[in-house]
Amino acid sequence: MEDIIYRFRLEGSPLTCEPYGCGHINHTFLVRTDTGRRYILQMLNGGVFPDPEGLMENVIAITRHIAKKCDDPRGSLRLNPTVEGGLYAEDEDGSIWRLYDYVEGSICLQAPETPEDFYQSAVAFGTFQRQLADFPAETLHETIPNFHNTPDRYRLFRRALAADVCGRAKDVGPEIGFVLAREEEAGALQRMRESGELPTRVTHNDTKLNNVMLDEKTRKPLCVIDLDTVMPGLAAYDFGDSIRFGAATAAEDEKDLDRMEMDLAAFETYTRGFLKACPDLTRRERETLSLGAKLMTLECGVRFLTDYLAGDVYFSIHRPEHNLDRARTQFKLVADMEKKWDAMNAVVARLSAETA
């Protein structure tokens, strides 16, 4: 049992506390008590989040803002107080811990089981963005500076490549070539953000399918979780990262690249749900949705490859070449999106016209 659990006010006495979920960043545990209550206990990854107190201020404010707009208590993550009355606890090593209610009666998917599941995840993330449209964005802490600043991700990639601390660069020549060949295009969204061409919104920035909870019976959205990267951003980031993960025909770490493609039908399904939930996207924002899909996928691949070169210091890995396998699937997806580029844009244009 993690001792830290006793710092929180629980209903009942804790019986079990076990590692839980498939996140790559935080340490997540499922806690059960003798009354049958379940909680999610999380230790924030201090190496990833430089300002955990600022992050928790964000999470507290965002969950309160969303809870006010929902009738169902499961419509927002709910933090539980510590015995001292705070909403997070610091352990003797300086790590920050928090305790959420377990979202009961929910499912969390690693891949859509039906097109409808993926559609509902689009509604969930689109609704999340809309619920935060009146949130004061300037009060948010930037929990990871330059999170989706793709040129900055290239800068970090080049730095890891030059340092090559594990001597791995020699084995990944084709992957390095793939990244460098796309550097100019990779900066497109960042340039549009800086020029003011695209509005800044409060975005989630990590819109993987396993960061949304669906009702296990109705399979409709309950809430969006993993709020650590909620920051000002672009609609294309959230749309794009969902496509990267959920419109892929194989898992993020699939070794057989022949199985990895971007499913155009799934792309259409997600686009329909996202546009329905976020009808006020500007024309220019809609025009950049496909670009968001391609660049979020490329950026994620660059990040996995950077971490592979740096010795696997950021993402949790479960086998030696895990980050390299992940980078390769992302590059395969990007290449497939390049082939399907005109079709992707045609889907967005058609659905935009229908919802205008």
Question: Which residue's CB is nearer to ligand ADP, number 65 or number 74?
Answer: 74
Which partner, ligand ADP, ligand GN1, Mg ion, none, binds residue 246 by CB below 5 to 8 Å per kind? none
Q: Report d(CA 247, CA 294) in Å as an integer.
A: 12
Out of 14, 23, 75, 221, point to the residue binding Mg ion (CB under 5 A). Answer: 23
Q: Hey, which residues between 262 and 281 contact ligand GN1 (CB under 6 A)?
A: none
- The span of 30-38, 86-94, 212-220, 222-230 binding Mg ion (CB under 5 A) equals 222-230
Q: Report d(CA 314, CA 311) in Å as an integer.
A: 9
Q: Does 252 bind ligand GN1 (CB under 6 A)?
A: yes
Would you give the distance in Å from CA 316 to the centre of its chain? 15
SS3 call for 16: strand
Which partner, ligand GN1, Mg ion, ligand ADP, none, binds residue 103 by CB below 5 to 8 Å per kind? ligand ADP
Interface ranges with ligand ADP (CB under 6 A): 20-26, 28, 40, 77, 100, 102-103, 108, 210-211, 225-226
Q: Report d(CA 205, CA 207) in Å as an integer.
A: 6
Name the β-bridge partners of 225: none
Q: Which residue from 74, 93, 78 is spatially nearest to 227, judged by alpha carbons?
A: 78
Q: Report d(CA 152, CA 323) in Å as an integer.
A: 19
Q: Which residue from 60, 45, 55 is spatially nearest to 143, judged by alpha carbons?
A: 55
Question: Which residue's CB is nearer to ligand GN1, number 24 or number 182?
Answer: 24
Question: Which residue's CB is nearer to ligand GN1, number 22 or number 265?
Answer: 22
Q: For the purposes of burial, counting CB atoms within 10 Å of the CB of 307, is it exposed (0-12), middle (13-18) or buried (19 or more)? A: buried
Q: Hey, which residues between 153 and 212 contact Mg ion (CB under 5 A)?
A: 211
Out of 7, 24, 153, 322, point to the residue binding ligand GN1 (CB under 6 A). Answer: 24
Q: Does 226 bind Mg ion (CB under 5 A)?
A: yes
Which partner, Mg ion, ligand ADP, ligand GN1, none, binds residue 102 by CB below 5 to 8 Å per kind? ligand ADP
Question: Which residue's CB is nearer to Mg ion, number 20 or number 135?
Answer: 20
Q: For the purposes of burial, counting CB atoms within 10 Å of the CB of 165, is it exposed (0-12), middle (13-18) or buried (19 or more)? A: exposed
Measured from the CB of residue 284, what is the shortest distance to ligand ADP in angstroms?
Answer: 31
Question: Which residue's CB is nearer to Mg ion, number 124 or number 179?
Answer: 124
Which partner, ligand GN1, ligand ADP, Mg ion, none, binds residue 300 by CB below 5 to 8 Å per kind? ligand GN1
Question: For residue 257, is it left (φ>0), alpha (ψ between -120 and 50) or beta?
Answer: alpha
Q: Which residue from 80, 42, 76, 78 is spatially nearest to 213, judged by alpha carbons?
A: 76
User: In the complex, which residue's CB is closest to Mg ion?
Assistant: 226
Q: Does 299 bind Mg ion (CB under 5 A)?
A: no
Question: For residue 146, is it left (φ>0), alpha (ψ between -120 and 50) or beta?
Answer: left
User: In sequence order, what are the residues at sequence separation of 6 or more whose Cβ sits closer than 8 angstroms to the Cβ of residue 95?
Assistant: 43, 44, 46
Number of residues counted as binding ligand GN1 (CB under 6 A): 12
Measured from the CB of residue 28, what is the shortest distance to ligand GN1 in angstroms?
Answer: 10
**Residues near ligand GN1, by CB under 6 A:** 23-25, 48, 206, 208, 211, 226, 228-229, 252, 300
